[in-house]
Amino acid sequence: MSPAPVIESLPEGLANLADFEAPARARVSDAAWAYLSGGAADEITLRANRAAWDAIRLHPRVLRDLGHGHTRVTLLGRELRHPILLAPIAYQRLFHADGELALGHAAAAQEAGLILSAQASVEMELVAAPMRADPGAGPLWFQLYWRDDREFMRALLRRVEAAGFQALVLTVDAPVHGARDRERRIGFKLPDDIRAVNLGGLKKPLDLQPGQSALFDGLMPRAATWREVDWLRTESRLPLLLKGVTHADDAREALARGVTGFVVTNHGGRALDTLPPTAALLPPLRAAVGPDVPLLVDGGIRRGTDVLKAIALGADAVLLGRPYVHALAASGALGVAHALRLLRDELEIAMALSGCKTLADAGPALLWPGAPA
């Protein structure tokens, strides 16, 4: 049984996801805000993610029969009420005392999917409980970072499976932190009472010789390679998706090794700066993997029109990131649920005004020529 989250009142005047940002900022420390809001280096990719969705124009059809339309999609063989999932974001007790516990309840209430971060600050079983208890809840997946300790990873996989998670999402684009200047300027560090509670134990210390690089001689030999992807495929019965593949050749290699699908991402602009925006990465990856491989996309999703554009560019579903953390900080589980509801309503409006009865009607023809391709 998962404990109940704190139910708070919503701030006044919430018309869209952006309206959560100001009340969230008032509740969050400067250091935590820098951690959440900042990107890598000059934050070129961070800004480009949002700008790319804004630059795409819709080209609607009219006078179509849209009665009894819906937002349902199929993902990993399961029909979902809508294509919106909550992205994995670490240490959410930085932003609200309930942290990830609030996400489980909000996602279940709005029939949204949830990908829980390996660096969650609440035990995975507590987060999973409300999702498992609600038959209408969306998919429940677990995001992994590789740790160079196969016994630890094996035990973690068994725990993830026992808790009821239905897929694994291995992050492959961030073997080290990006150069995040906002965090470095403010001296961000985790408070003593917040940690990755599902990753017990200590990492092995680096064993460096004089003159060796802590990154290339210490950390990178421990990072995941294709060998670890193969190992995960054999060690767990759960479908495996890779988060952070941006090159078509890597996507084809992953499929050849039995990977199920991909999250198209640039890590929210937090890893390698100057990567293309995800709206530009999505179409060539869809072309590379074909029509049937599950593709999800994140990065800058703020409006229902963004969701519709993502589907038109080839995504099966989208991940919502920073905006739901703003909602969490502003008013806990109720805030996250309300943010999801706002985005779902905006998606329905965008579909109706674009002549889309279902999301299967959203293809390249829905986009004004010149959209990213």
pLDDT digit string, tens, across residues 301-348: 999 999 999 999 999 999 999 999 999 999 999 999 999 999 999 999
The Cα 273–Cα 243 span in angstroms is 17
pLDDT digit string, tens, across residues 230-260: 999 999 999 999 999 999 999 999 999 999 9
Write down the pTM of the prediction: 0.96
pLDDT digit string, tens, across residues 252-281: 999 999 999 999 999 999 999 999 999 999
Q: Is pLDDT at 372 greater than 70 in this prediction?
A: no
For residue 199, what are the β-bridge partners?
none
Q: What pLDDT shows up at residue 23? A: 98
Q: Is pLDDT at 213 greater than 90 in this prediction?
A: no
Reduced to 3 states, what is the DSSP secondary structure of residue 152? helix
Range in 20-34, 215-229, 333-347, 350-364 the model is least confident about: 215-229
Q: CA distances (Å), 42 to each of 30, 187, 254, 273, 299, in order?
A: 19, 18, 31, 7, 17
Query: What are φ and ψ of residue 8, in 5° steps?
Result: -110, 165
Domains of the chain: residue spans and CATH? 19-194+217-366 (3.20.20.70)
Query: What are φ and ψ of residue 7, in 5° steps?
Result: -100, 115
The Cα 233–Cα 258 span in angstroms is 7
Q: What pLDDT shows up at residue 62? A: 98
pLDDT band at 202 (very low <50, low <70, confident <90, very high): low
Query: What are φ and ψ of residue 249, in 5° steps?
Result: -65, -40
Opening angle at CA 218, ends 217 and 224, nearest 5: 100
pLDDT band at 222 (very low <50, low <70, confident <90, very high): confident
For residue 114, what are the β-bridge partners?
86, 140
State the catalytic residues: 267
The Cα 269–Cα 91 span in angstroms is 18
Q: Alpha helices, DSSP H only, in the chain?
A: 21-27, 30-37, 44-55, 100-109, 124-133, 150-163, 181-186, 226-235, 248-256, 278-289, 304-312, 322-354
Q: What pLDDT shows up at residue 1? A: 64
Q: What single DSSP character describes residue 217?
A: I
